[in-house]
A and B are shown apart, each in its own frame.
Chain A
Amino acid sequence: MHIVVCLKQVLDPEITPKYFKIDPDTNRPENSDTDLVLDSFAENALELAIQLRDKVPGATVTALCLGDEESEEVLRRALAFTANAAVRVWDEEWENLDGQAVGHILAQTIKSLGGAQLVLTGYQASDIEEGLVGPVMAEELGIPCVTLVSELEVEENSAKATVEVEGGYAVVSVATPAVFTIISSESNVPRLPKVKDIRLARSKPITLLESEDLNLDRESCQPGVKLERAYVLNREVACEVLPGDDGAELASELADRLLALKIL
């Protein structure tokens, strides 16, 4: 069983708003060179991929990333999680891809890797949150896509997925190969890689594929949307900080304010 997990490198979503600025010339965050991390839902997908592999004898996990050289960090992390192989695809021309173009290129990459029984992605990347790559890949590969998956059980030619639906959960069974977009859950909390595995990961090979290695459709590699303008909206509210530092007095003052609002 071959599992491919797609990993994206993103700007650290936990960056303090105070330090977050958009460069008006590039429309990109100013600090984009510094705090780059593995997308958190993709990391949940990676954890799940490793767990599934360890349950099925002979199974392998390939970590796949579309990105520049810097993004090899996320593949090193996947190798430290004990992924069996790491593949990076990149072309200088791919600076401004959108989710659809990324989905096309990743789907073609998976084909060139000989396909996969399970393709796992995060459900929405924590930078732009398009939530498109998984479904687009499924459409391109002509296989089913199950979104918002918290748990996954694999059988011979099918898989059982626990998915979030309106008002609760559902368990669905789907024929494989299929794409699954993963949300965080108690069962896929990313592991802390062992020091030994981190060290081993440093010297493992990362395969680089470029556009000429893939059977790409020129039109599908063009982004369908273009970011024209990005701006930080100042939503700051004038906050009235209640004076004093005695808890009981502050509580009393706050009670008066709340009563004055006439909503209690």
Chain B
Amino acid sequence: MTRILVFANQQGDSLSSGAKEALAFGSRLASSTGGEVRSVTLGPLAEAGAREAIANGASIAYTISNPLLTEYDVELFVNSIHTVFEQSGSDILILSFDKIGKDLVGRIATRAGASAITEVVNYSANSDKVSWIRPIYGDKAFGEYSTTRPKVVVGIRQKSQDVIVQDETSKGEIIEVDYAPSEEMIVTKLVVKIQAALSDIRLEDARIIISGGRGLGGPEGFTELQVLANLLGGTVGASRAACDAGWVPSNLQVGQTGAVVAPDLYIAVGISGASQHLAGITNAKTVVAINTDPEATIFKRANIGVVADYKSVIQALTEKLKKVLV
């Protein structure tokens, strides 16, 4: 039987979206391997997190409710999660490979003498043998990995899992772990935290996104996209090339190193369709591409293609839709 431990990170008193994805992945894996899922939550609100983890499939929920764990600290979290990983006798530790997970996976794995695998999106289970599936080479290919050590720490790619429909009636045991991290362990101090200016609609939540790339030739083109986006109740995104050129702020970047989005409609304007860009729109429903080059890779991902200069299309499209929609 595989024993799966999931680190369920909290944001305030509820689980982070990454934690829910990690729990969903763990539950799926448990049902294919005949294993069970346990969770670990940290900090004074750990018990609320534990209950939510149980509703998301955990059968045993470990907590360390020490007040030192109120704010994220890398050393304290590495020590605490590692302790629970060892004490629970788990074989597999699953974490979201989100910003915090990027701190944790390599360190906990090395400390535990476990294998480490990151950016995992799926697995394949054959009797007791599990292999881990993840994109490689900027999403141009997939790799299937086996592990060579008895234990493994797995980082799940963000936005790659459907979360479980919570079941508040599911039962599980909450166990407070006897472990006290100490202040001396802390080596990084927070000086200041700056909340990024949020646009009206977060890219991640937008139903309609109109993205511009290098083909727009400058920041002015983005003004046209913004007018269309406003009309449609959508928001504007960009390729890395457009962000790097300074035409739009970098928090508009869509892709592997930017936002991963899943809108109903994604319009790519003057974007060639590099694999790293497409990595951000894997789950977009309808993709429209407007590009002067009929050979552009984006047409292999788009459902509807328009081969034309965007300047001749966007304004005309906005005018036409205005007549119908307003």
Q: A17-B140, A166-B16, A232-B142 known; 18 other A-B pairs, CB under 8 Å?
A: A128-B136, A130-B118, A139-B110, A145-B103, A168-B195, A171-B194, A225-B146, A230-B142, A230-B144, A239-B301, A239-B302, A241-B307, A242-B305, A247-B313, A250-B312, A254-B288, A254-B317, A257-B304
Would you call B106 and A17 a contact (CB within 8 A)?
no
Please report the C-alpha to C-alpha distance between residue A27 and residue B275 in the assembled complex, in whole angstroms.
Answer: 19
Would you call A81 an interface residue if the criterion is a C-beta within 8 Å of the partner chain's C-beta atoms?
no
B residues 93-118 near A (Cβ < 8 Å) are: 97-100, 102-107, 109-111, 114-118
Surface stretch bound by B, among A50-58, A85-93, A110-118, A172-180: A172-180
Number of A-B contacts (CB under 8 A): 260
- Point out the residues of chain A lying under 8 angstroms from B317, CB to CB: 251, 254-255
Would you call B99 and A132 a contact (CB within 8 A)?
no
A residues 169-224 near B (Cβ < 8 Å) are: 169-175, 178, 181, 183, 222-224
Would you call B309 an interface residue if the criterion is a C-beta within 8 Å of the partner chain's C-beta atoms?
yes
Would you call B107 and A135 a contact (CB within 8 A)?
yes
Residues of A participating in the B interface, judged by any CB pair closer than 8 Å = 11, 13-18, 20, 22, 27, 29, 98-100, 103, 123, 126-136, 138-140, 144-148, 160, 164-175, 178, 181, 183, 222-233, 235-242, 245-248, 250-252, 254-255, 257-259, 261, 263-264
Given contacts A139-B111, A242-B305, A254-B288, contact A222 B148 (CB under 8 A): yes
Would you call B299 and A239 a contact (CB within 8 A)?
yes
Would you call B144 and A229 a contact (CB within 8 A)?
yes
- Point out the residues of chain B lying under 8 angstroms from A232, CB to CB: 140-142
Would you call B316 and A251 a contact (CB within 8 A)?
yes
- Point out the residues of chain B lying under 8 angstroms from A251, CB to CB: 312-317, 319-320
Would you call A13 and B138 a contact (CB within 8 A)?
yes
14 A/B residue pairs, CB under 8 Å, sorted by A = A13-B276, A18-B297, A131-B119, A166-B100, A168-B193, A225-B148, A227-B143, A237-B287, A239-B304, A240-B303, A240-B304, A251-B315, A251-B319, A252-B316
- Point out the residues of chain B lying under 8 angstroms from A160, CB to CB: 191
Would you call A169 and B99 a contact (CB within 8 A)?
no
- Point out the residues of chain A lying under 8 angstroms from B155, CB to CB: 131
Would you call B325 and A230 a contact (CB within 8 A)?
no
- Point out the residues of chain B lying under 8 angstroms from A228, CB to CB: 131, 144-146
Residues of B participating in the A interface, judged by any CB pair closer than 8 Å = 11, 16, 74-75, 97-100, 102-107, 109-111, 114-119, 131-132, 136-138, 140-149, 152, 155, 187-196, 207-208, 232, 257, 264-265, 274-276, 278, 282, 285-289, 294, 297, 299-309, 311-317, 319-321, 324-325
Given contacts A127-B137, A245-B307, contact A252 B320 (CB under 8 A): yes
Would you call B137 and A11 a contact (CB within 8 A)?
yes
The 4 closest A-B pairs by CB, nearest first: A247-B312, A224-B115, A135-B106, A251-B316
Would you call A237 and B303 a contact (CB within 8 A)?
yes
- Point out the residues of chain A lying under 8 angstroms from B288, CB to CB: 254, 258
Would you call A226 and B304 a contact (CB within 8 A)?
no
- Point out the residues of chain B lying under 8 angstroms from A246, CB to CB: 312
Would you call B313 and A99 a contact (CB within 8 A)?
no
Please report the C-alpha to C-alpha distance between residue A259 and residue B140 in the assembled complex, in whole angstroms.
Answer: 33
Given contacts A123-B102, A222-B148, contact A172 B191 (CB under 8 A): yes
- Point out the residues of chain B lying under 8 angstroms from A175, CB to CB: 187
- Point out the residues of chain B lying under 8 angstroms from A255, CB to CB: 317, 320-321, 324
Residue of A whose beta carbon sits closest to that of B78: A139
- Point out the residues of chain B lying under 8 angstroms from A172, CB to CB: 188-191
